[in-house]
Amino acid sequence: MKIGIVNYGLGNVGSVYSAFRFYKCDVSLVINWRELKGFDVIVLSGVGNFETAVFKLRELTFLDELK
């Protein structure tokens, strides 16, 4: 299973990535929405403010592809 972690500048992406690597998962950081189709699972790291996260995802044009 191929896992992609969206690197949208929020949350603790590095810790999430390290945790998946610790368990020997096939994981990559996704920095462009065009890369999303190559993964079986997409992970958004946690963020304290949902509105800020949605704004950032929209700004980086991830939101439409994630829907």
Q: pLDDT digits over 13-65, tens only? A: 999 999 999 999 999 999 999 999 889 999 988 777 888 888 888 998 888 88
Counted domains in the chain: 1
Q: What is the pTM of this model?
A: 0.84
Q: How far apart are CA 4 and CA 16, in angstroms?
A: 11
In this structure, how many other beta carbons lie within 10 angstroms of the beta carbon of residue 1?
A: 8
Domain that holds residue 54: 2-66
Q: What are phi and psi of 7, to 5 degrees?
A: -95, 90
